Structure 1
Amino acid sequence: MEKIEKATKEVLVDIVKLAQKRGMKGSNGGWKDFLAVYDKNGVSLSDPARRSEEALIGFLKTFTNADDLKFFEKVLENHESLEHIKKKSDKLSPEQELVYKTIGHPQYTLTYTFPVHEEGWLVTKSRKKNKATRSNTMIAVDCEMVLCEDGTEALVRVCVVDRDLQVKLDELVKPEKVVTDYRTHITGVAAKDLEKVTCSLQDVQISMMKLLSRGTILVGHSLNNDLQALKIEHTRIIDTSLIFKFWSGSNFRRPSLNDLCKSVLKYELRKEGAPHDCLEDARAAMKLALAKIQGVDDNAIPLTQNEVPEADTMKLLCHRIPIGIPGEKLLEIIPGDFTVELKPNKKAGGDRYTALAVFKSKQEADDAFEGLVGDLAKDSSGRPQKLIYFKLDSGVAGSIYVRKMVQDGDKVQVVSNKRPSEDEMPTQPKKLKTEETLKNLTENELPSRLNTDEKPESKESVQCNSCDGYMREIESLKKKLSEREQEISMLHKIIVSQVRKQSDL
């Protein structure tokens, strides 16, 4: 704890953010719980960066659990390593420059601080004075994971290639826990593929430790996920999601592996909806690292937009929902008319889960998000999210995160409704549904729809007038519906505001 008191504010902010991310709790609970006691008038100001060093240290001092303290020490070690890198003046090879660019990235500490004190983790040895630290040997890895019954993920396949793209390791792995979702549409692995597999995570770790000896540099895309699955910490890494210049405004955005392949390597890694090819993904990461070493121009890379299905714009992701709060209770927490779609991936040791609030349109989803009272922030990918507090009719209170499925600048995939040109128009135009409906009207019914003071018109004229009438009626109903939705939205905002005030009392 003495080191924490001497740490800079930047380091303290990172530690608190990581504690929030992992759901860690001290003697006064989590960060928000601490603020409620520390400063009752400023609970809404939850951004650690906007709090004083005194407040940050005060929160960290509430932790006494040995594992929690070891984790904090690990964050401090990572920052010390970064300071060492900043001061290093030796001439570096292109490979070493990419290593330092990765671990010097602002996102590094938040994504590469692992719970190495937990059982099953391995740490590769790092000898600063050893010639191995100047090694330029590189291997690339990619892993596929499945979802287990307890909400955690388990390694199911690992592939490693060398600098020449030759296979060094390609293994299917038998998960130690009960699997609830093989994610075959992503992993390409089904239950039947593992029937005769005997390779375990420990077997893979032994193979990886041999490959990573003598200062070998490990390459991968969003490599932190692979290391988490392998339960291995290795500091000489190149993360291809961090070494290229992909920015959107002032926000850093991690590009997808496929986007980088299209932009840098000029080929499409996989078709939309196709499962991942673990081996090809490892090769793609190595190709990208080699392209960077050879001096590809970052400024020539377009700022590609994420292509998001239109259906996703109609959804809000609700995560870190307490397991004791049923999905249907989200209807009391979030304003608007929506259906709840539960997701299988439970987090934080199984005491939290995730769900989707599915609306009828993007506008309804946006209005509901705007109507939520909470701290607005952005996730690691730049998508807006809010931490909101709730109190149900039953008296149960708590908090959840609600996040948009898209971020500013995302490209929405929509079905084209463009009117065809005259050349594209069919020779026999399609008939309106209203016209077909009118055909079913009898001759006696048609005059009844006319003004009795007017002369009967031709059947064609009646059809046109009736169509116009139907359209006017539809527009009128749409307007009334929109007004009613606005009224409901306003009522929800008032209710949420009152609930928030009650919970602050």
Structure 2
Amino acid sequence: MDGMIASAKKDVLVEIVKLAQKREMKGNQGGWKDFLKFYDKKFGSSLSDPAKRSADVLAAFLKTFSQKEDLKIFEKVLQCHSNRDAVLEFQKSSADTESPEQRLVRLTLENPQYPVDYSFPSHEEGWLITKRSKKSKVMQSTEMLAVDCEMALCDDGTEALIRVCAVDRNLKVKLDEFVKPSKAIVDYRTDITGITATDLDGVTCSLADVQRSLKKLLSHGKILVGHSLYNDLRALQIDHPRVIDTAYVFKYRDEPPNRRPSLSNLCKFVLGFELRKKGSPHNCLDDACAAMKLAIEKVEHDVDNVIPFVREKVQEEVQMAKLLVHRVPVVVSSEDLHKVISGEFTVEVKTNKKPRGDRYSAFAIFENQQAATEAFEKLDGILEKDTSGRPQKLVSFELDTGVSGSLCVCKMARHDSCKSNNASTKRPLQDEEPLGESKKSRTDHQGEELEKTNTTATSDQCETHLKEIERLKRELSQRDQEIANLKEIELLKRELSQRDQEIANLNKIVVALTRKQGL
């Protein structure tokens, strides 16, 4: 592994270090910033951008890792680059014969985020790695298969596959299966997935069954198509080398590359139709067909890969009709949130690419901004502001089931008094798919960037409050114990006093008897 790192190009090392930062990985000298403080006495962590560090410094940091799991992740990033290089080399040697389908594969592989997003832990048990052949016939294959999945939230904060659909180039359905989850589900996210627990009654199809079916469908160099496809592949636990990701191929005009168009916007601007009605749940068969149509439109008509970014007032009003609910214990289902927050609303559960284990985030979506504001005002909790000036409350609760705890509720708009003071820090609401977002935790809405900006800050603040609450609970518990001990001491004192009195009485009796006998 050290040899591979030493021979890697700087841009590759930069991506690996950024991935290590993103996943909060630590070597024997800590994380990236800890390493810099130790390694560079002059600048330390003040110069922490990996791109501004030399290849030697980057390699030195990566060599501090020795755990097998960490090395496997780094090896996977290097493998992604190797896969990319193989495709690019093939393209150079046969540039005149590159098909439109192969070009889209190349565009996907050339995206700066590809090595990060597609660096799956495929070394782990249960993953399927399709054959990586470099034969000319396989590399020249133009057959395509589009896939889309629906996932539910598990009790450990991860996601489980509950439905998968795949269509061929002619939009013929090749696979449409409900999938029996291997973990306990706490939320089917029906508002988004359209799937309930009842839909899975009697389902016997497993993830392994789906993998076997897709292995057959993906043979002979077939290209896999999807929108933010890495999320689907992660749910499927499949590592496939030839992919077309429409979230990579298309982009917004005059917007940073990390702001990815939603599938709904691509259907609207590229294909000319609405993918789904406002408020309707996802349908993975429709989404798979939409991804294939986008690929075909690019292949057959070479449509512009840039679409306009339009911020509509109506869309912003929809965004303001939400409350961000975060640091929610996983034992609290989306239905339980209705017992904590008043009013009529639907719940859109969000999950992180890196699960937090016992917590998750969600949006409470109301009919309008006034309803969201009223629900927020009725909440009984500690009122504060996040770093962007948005009001939030730390709310303690106790459910009828006996479950108790705390969560944070944040408004998606500032108070009027905060607007002028914080205008420079506010990030615009975007209709997009930000980097690292979990695909099925969205409804093609604005505010994903806002949620990413605020969740960390608000979570840190709430984390501080939660720690303070835990500390106070421990103090109260200690005091209760001390009080109990004092009560026990008082009881013993009374018992001793009674016994002393009894002994004194007995002594009097003995003295009296002695006197009588002396007489």
Taking structure 2 as the reference length, the TM-score comes to 0.65
Select which of 356, 361, 370 maps to 2:414. 361
Alignment of 1:267-416 (within 5 A): 267-298=273-304, 301-305=307-311, 307-308=315-316, 309-311=318-320, 337-340=391-394, 357-358=410-411, 361=414, 364=418, 383=449, 385=453
CA contact (8 A) 1:16 1:56 kept: yes
Cα distance, 1:95 vs. partner?
A: 1.1
Residue number in structure 2 paired with 1:169: 175
Aligned to 2:80: 78
Query: Counterpart of 1:104?
Result: 110
Q: How does 1:84-163 map to 2 (within 5 A)?
A: 84-87=86-89, 88-89=91-92, 90=94, 91-129=97-135, 131-163=137-169
Change (3 A) 1:212 1:379: closer
Give the Cα separation in 2 of the matches to 1:212 and 1:325: 36
Shift of 1:37: 3.2
Change (3 A) 1:85 1:19: same
Checking the alignment, whether the CA contact within 8 Å between 1:245 and 1:298 is kept in structure 2 is no
Instruction: Tell me which moved more, 231-240 or 317-326.
Output: 317-326
Measure how far apart 1:315 and its partner are: 6.0
Against the structure 1 CA distance between its residues 164 and 303, is the aligned structure 2 distance closer, same or farther, given a 3 Å change threshold?
Answer: same
CA–CA distance in structure 1, aligned partners of residues 101 and 355 of structure 2 = 43
Give the Cα–Cα distance (whole angstroms) in 2 for the partners of residues 287 and 145 of structure 1: 23
CA 1:338 to 1:122, structure 2 compared with 1: closer, same or farther past 3 Å?
A: same
Equivalent residues of 1:317, 1:354 under 8 A apart: yes
Q: Which residue of the partner structure matches residue 50 of structure 1?
A: 52
For the Cα contact (< 8 Å) 1:141–1:220, is it kept in 2?
yes
**SS of the residue 2:208 aligns to:** helix
1: CA distance, partners of 2:20 / 2:209: 31
Select the residue among 194, 205, 210 that pairs with 1:204.
Answer: 210
Matching of residue 225 in structure 1 with residue 225 in structure 2: no
- In structure 1, the gaps of 5 or more residues are 343-352, 373-377, 397-505
Change (3 A) 1:68 1:366: farther
Match in the other structure for 1:6? 7
Structure 2 counterpart of 1:64, from 50, 63, 66: 66
Residues 1:186 and 2:192 aligned together:
yes
* TM-superposed deviation, 1:304: 3.9
Q: Which amino acid aligns with 2:320?
A: A
- Cα shift at 1:30: 2.4
CA distance in 1, matches of 2:170, 2:66: 49
Contact 2:253 2:307 in 1 (8 A): no
Report the alpha carbon displacement of residue 27 of structure 1 after superposing the two structures with TM.
1.8
Per-residue deviation, residues 285-342 of structure 1 (Å, max 9, x unmatched) = 1111110011243167323448443427986978889889999999698586521479
Tell me the number of residue pairs that the alignment of Structure 1 and Structure 2 aligns.
381
- 1: CA distance, partners of 2:412 / 2:72: 44
- TM-superposition CA deviations, 1:124-173 (whole Å, max 9, x none): 00110252222111111100000100111010000011111111110000
| In structure 1, distance between residues paired with 2:322 and 2:423 | 12
CA contact (8 A) 1:315 1:362 kept: no
CA-CA distance at 1:255 after TM superposition? 0.7
- Give the structure 1 partner of residue 335 of structure 2: none
SS at match of 1:298: coil
Structure 2 CA distance for partners of 1:136 and 1:362, relative to 1, 3 Å: farther
Cα separation, 1, equivalents of 2:177 and 2:409: 34
Question: How far apart, CA to CA, are the structure 2 residues paired with 1:354 and 1:59?
Answer: 37
Tell me, yes or no, if the aligned pair for 2:323 and 2:409 is still in contact at 8 Å: no
The Cα of 1:383 is off from its aligned counterpart by 3.5
- Whether contact under 8 Å (2:228, 2:246) holds in the other structure is yes
CA shift in 2, pair 1:322/1:118, >3 Å: closer
**Structure 1 position 219, deviation (Å):** 0.8
Distance 2:420 2:63 in 1: 39
Aligned mates of 1:113, 1:271 — CA distance in 2: 34
- Note the C-alpha offset of 1:380: 5.4
SS at match of 1:280: helix
CA contact (8 A) 1:321 1:354 kept: no
Indicate the SS of the match to 1:294: helix
Task: Give the match for residue 487 of structure 1.
Answer: none
Q: Is the 8 A contact 1:314 1:365 kept in 2?
A: no
Amino acid at match of 2:216: K
CA distance in 2, matches of 1:331, 1:83: 51
SS of residue paired to 1:158: strand
The alpha-carbon distance between structure 1 residues 393 and 128, as it changes in their structure 2 partners (threshold 3 A), is: closer
Native 8 Å contact 2:141 2:222 kept in 1:
yes
**More moved, 3-12 vs 47-56:** 47-56
- Name whichever structure is richer in helix by fraction: 2
C-alpha separation between the residues in 2 aligned to 1:161 and 1:189? 20
Whole-angstrom distance in 1 between the partners of 2:175 and 2:84: 31
Contact 1:140 1:283 in 2 (8 A): yes
Q: Pick from 197, 211, 221 the counterpart of residue 215 of structure 1.
A: 221
Q: Which moved more, 1:102-111 or 1:129-138?
A: 129-138
CA-based RMSD? 3.7
How far residue 17 of structure 1 moved from its aligned partner, in angstroms, is 1.2
Aligned-pair identity (%): 49
Are the structure 2 counterparts of residues 250 and 183 from structure 1 closer, same or farther at C-alpha, using a change threshold of 3 Å?
closer
Cα 1:392–1:184 shift into 2, 3 Å: closer
User: Which structure would you say has the larger Rg?
Assistant: 2
How far the C-alpha of 1:28 sits from its partner, in A, is 2.6
Structure 1 residue 367: Cα displacement? 5.8
After superposition, the Cα gap between the structure-2 partners of 1:48 and 1:270, relative to the gap in structure 1 and judged at 3 Å, is same
Q: Partners of 1:291 and 1:332 in 2: how far apart? A: 46
Q: Output one character per residue of 1:164-190: Cα deviation in whole Å (capped at 9) or x when no partner.
A: 111111000010100011000111110
**Structure 2 CA distance for partners of 1:359 and 1:284, relative to 1, 3 Å:** closer
Moved more, 72-81 or 243-252: 243-252
Structure 1 length-normalised TM: 0.66
Which runs of no fewer than 5 residues in structure 2 stay unpaired? 328-351, 362-380, 397-405, 427-433, 438-447, 469-519
Cα distance between partner residues in 2 of 1:37 and 1:358: 41
* Alignment deviations for residues 460-482 of structure 1 (CA, whole Å, 9 cap, x no partner): xxxxxxxxxxxxxxxxxxxxxxx
DSSP-derived class of the 2:301 partner: coil
In structure 2, the CA distance between the partners of 1:234 and 1:312, relative to structure 1 (3 Å rule), is farther
Q: Is the 8 A contact 1:316 1:365 kept in 2?
A: no
| Contact 1:219–1:240 (Cα < 8 Å) also in 2 | yes
**Aligned 8 A contact 1:313 1:362 in 2:** no
Deviations 1:378-403 (A, max 9, x none): 9558937487788959999xxxxxxx
Q: Deviations over 1:234-281 (max 9, x none)?
A: 011111111124243444421111101111111101012110011111
- Assess, with a 3 A threshold, how the Cα gap between structure 1 residues 171 and 123 changes in structure 2: closer, same or farther: same
Separation in structure 2 between the aligned mates of residue 196 and residue 39 of structure 1, nearest angstrom:
60
The amino acid that maps onto 1:239 is: D
